[in-house]
Structure 1
Amino acid sequence: MIRSSRLLNILLVSVLLPLAGLSQAAGWPRQVVTDNGTITLKSAPKRIVSTSVTLTGSLLAIDAPVIASGAGVPNSRFTDSQGFFSQWGAVAKQKHVQRLYIGEANAEMVAAQAPDLIVVSATGHDSALRLVNQLSSIAPVIVVNYDDKSWQQVVTLLGQATGHEDQAQTIIYQFDQRVTALKPALKLPPQPVSAFVWNGGGKEVNLWTADSAQGKLLQQLGFTLAPTPTQLATSHSMGQRKDIIQLSGEKMSEGLSGKSWLMFVADEDTVNQVNSDRFLQQTPAVKQGHVYPLGNDNFRLDYYSATHTLAILEKRFVH
């Protein structure tokens, strides 16, 4: 009886938990608190335009009706031939998501799609923040700051704005269940770790902070992030972003103070570049062989890239 009761409780939780929080935004019209204030949405959107290639993946993950998106440079380390991120490019193609432009946002192209909701990122190179007033004359605009949020927090907000709360909570629950199962099985490398993206042949690195989605995921799995030296902690990208600290030259070895290094957007060739860099050759992580690539599709963390990253961590650190 005890086992049956426990099993029943587990089943009930698995059914009910994905639906948790629906009452907070149930029904239309509804108000959504975003980085550009509280936005009133009269009805569930049916034609969403994402001006942020970073946020498009989260919209796709919750099956929101995104019809078009801004894009990055095609065929880069982390994009496909459309300029969409490789981790969800196939999903975008399947759902017939149209590429609007590459790089800088274009309000006329957005308007031509006749959207009923426009999604804008608050920071990053894909931000169309300067166009918010102009875009607001086309359709309601929600501004999402992803540099201080986990991908789970991002999809929760987007779920509330699109009426896809249940899909958002379901993928979060399923992902967290996988993290719960994986965490005790991981044989962690020497702690603490520095997590970063290696840019431009070693001219600089982007060090993920504890505020970043990448940093939050690693901490969720039990990794400890190495503290950033105080004199470098103010080197945040573009003066405002909280998720990365840009390091270059001699500052790289000082800022990458972890005993192990976890490299995002990286493969074995990237590790070889790091190991041969003149500024990094004598660091403990390089000398002791604790430099680990985590795959090429996690430049921005969303449900798709986070899931792929879990698989790589499992392959590398579960023995």
Structure 2
Amino acid sequence: MIRFARLVVPLLLSAFSVVPFTQAQADQGWPRHIPNRDGELVINHQPERIVSTSVTLTGSLLAIGAPVVASGAAMPGHKITDQQGFFRQWGKTATEKGVKRLYTGEPNLEAIAAENPDLIIVSATGNDSALPIYERLSAMAPTLVVNYDDKSWQQVERVLAQATGHEAQAEKSIQTYAQREKEVKAKLVLPPQPVSALVFNPHSRLVNLWTTESAQGKLLESLGFTLAQLPAVSIKASQRMKRKDIVPLSGENLVTGLTGNTVMMFATGEEGKAALLAEPLLAATPAVKNKQVYALGDESFRLDYYSASNLLTRLEQLFAKQ
């Protein structure tokens, strides 16, 4: 059993900064001291049975070859999920690895305990966060809280790799993607800049804009895209939510908030694009008026190695030189 301890870290916020891991660090062995929500998590031995309470983070665990045995799930059979409620971009891999679906939605403590985990992964934000029961999970097994709303997917992989001893696998996936990104970037002819990158819910007329701190924003910027300036009133709304990756827009803020000359729609296909183009509140925005709206696919909602790779393919299809 892995034992852990919490230590007081005066500069807690700075402790969450992420730097690339070197092979020397990978060879340091155990125990490892990992910055965590309330200080420091000490992991004495390499985990062998990881439970992910966050469907968002499960993909990154799979990408680095970590031994994740079970995971929380989203609603099954949705356009972004398979029949287990796993994200489509890595659902097949999860099935091949024998990852068990524990629950949908609210965390189930009994189901988690039944898997006898030696490491539990929790997301700090998002609908899949189990943070309210963090103390109870910590009493069950070492529990690592990972904040993905201010990190690229590569940074998230490196945090998980340090905790699981899978640095080499993480760096392999990151470098494989980097080479592919370089190739795609050289082919792109970008649409009119700047862009508003977003997720649109036509039923509630709600838009969530991705910020420069989001994984989605970081990916676009790495390819040469420029994110449109966000309105101050919307930024304040985001700060009240304590989220760094999204800025919510609704009502009249839809008009003032979508300032990009192009709209990049995440987590949707052509049907979502059609709904946004048909929304009367958005008719006067620059991108809608000029029909500069692009759907990036259902699998682009949460980014990990799998979805980011798929997104490169989609961007190449849309904007590569002919």
TM-score (ref. length: structure 1): 0.91
User: Within 5 A, what are the aligned runs for 1:134-173?
Assistant: 134-173=136-175
Aligned equivalents of 2:172 and 2:151: distance in 1? 18
* Contact 2:21–2:158, Cα closer than 8 Å, also in 1: no
* Contact 2:234–2:257, Cα closer than 8 Å, also in 1: yes
* Contact 1:202–1:277, Cα closer than 8 Å, also in 2: no
Aligned equivalents of 1:35 and 1:58: distance in 2? 20
* Bigger Cα displacement from structure 2, 128-137 vs 116-125: 128-137
* Contact 1:60–1:66, Cα closer than 8 Å, also in 2: yes
Q: What percent of counterpart residues are identical?
A: 53
What's the counterpart of residue 248 of structure 1?
250
What's the counterpart of residue 11 of structure 1?
none
- Deviation by residue 1:32-78 (Cα, 9 ceiling, x = unmatched): 12334221111111100000000000000111000000011111221
Matched, 1:214 2:216: yes
TM-score (ref. length: structure 2): 0.90
What's the counterpart of residue 5 of structure 1?
none
Secondary structure of 1:246 counterpart: strand
What's the counterpart of residue 21 of structure 1?
22
Aligned equivalents of 1:187 and 1:243: distance in 2? 26
Secondary structure of 1:247 counterpart: strand
Aligned equivalents of 1:316 and 1:138: distance in 2? 48
Residues 127/135 of structure 1: CA separation in 2 closer, same or farther (3 Å cut)? same
What's the counterpart of residue 16 of structure 1?
none
* Contact 2:273–2:293, Cα closer than 8 Å, also in 1: yes
Matched, 1:127 2:137: no
Aligned equivalents of 1:307 and 1:256: distance in 2? 27
* Bigger Cα displacement from structure 2, 95-104 vs 265-274: 265-274
User: Within 5 A, what are the aligned runs for 1:34-113?
Assistant: 34-113=36-115
- Number of aligned residue pairs: give it: 301
Secondary structure of 1:235 counterpart: helix
What's the counterpart of residue 233 of structure 1?
235
Q: Decide which of 254, 265, 269 is 1:263's aligned counterpart.
A: 265
Cα shift at 1:201: 2.9
Residues 36/56 of structure 1: CA separation in 2 closer, same or farther (3 Å cut)? farther
* Bigger Cα displacement from structure 2, 90-99 vs 198-207: 198-207
* Contact 1:192–1:258, Cα closer than 8 Å, also in 2: yes
Cα shift at 1:191: 0.3
Residues 278/62 of structure 1: CA separation in 2 closer, same or farther (3 Å cut)? same
* Contact 1:48–1:66, Cα closer than 8 Å, also in 2: yes
* Contact 2:123–2:146, Cα closer than 8 Å, also in 1: yes
Residues 127/222 of structure 1: CA separation in 2 closer, same or farther (3 Å cut)? same
Cα shift at 1:233: 1.0
Aligned equivalents of 1:309 and 1:316: distance in 2? 11
Residues 185/36 of structure 1: CA separation in 2 closer, same or farther (3 Å cut)? farther
AA of the residue aligned to 2:198 = F
Aligned equivalents of 1:37 and 1:305: distance in 2? 31
Aligned equivalents of 1:75 and 1:175: distance in 2? 28
Secondary structure of 1:143 counterpart: strand
What's the counterpart of residue 7 of structure 1?
none
What's the counterpart of residue 317 of structure 1?
319
- Deviation by residue 1:114-146 (Cα, 9 ceiling, x = unmatched): 001000000111111111111111111110000
Secondary structure of 1:233 counterpart: helix
Cα shift at 1:20: 5.7
Aligned equivalents of 1:61 and 1:222: distance in 2? 25
Q: Decide which of 181, 190, 193 is 1:191's aligned counterpart.
A: 193
Aligned equivalents of 2:52 and 2:70: distance in 1? 6
What's the counterpart of residue 280 of structure 1?
282
Structure 2 unmatched runs, 5+: 1-19
Aligned equivalents of 2:285 and 2:124: distance in 1? 36
* Contact 1:237–1:244, Cα closer than 8 Å, also in 2: no
Cα shift at 1:237: 7.7
AA of the residue aligned to 2:212 = A
Q: Decide which of 176, 179, 189 is 1:177's aligned counterpart.
A: 179
Structure 1 unmatched runs, 5+: 1-18
* Contact 1:260–1:290, Cα closer than 8 Å, also in 2: yes
Secondary structure of 2:98 counterpart: coil
C-alpha RMSD over aligned residues = 1.4
* Bigger Cα displacement from structure 2, 156-165 vs 249-258: 249-258
Residues 36/87 of structure 1: CA separation in 2 closer, same or farther (3 Å cut)? farther
Residues 251/75 of structure 1: CA separation in 2 closer, same or farther (3 Å cut)? same
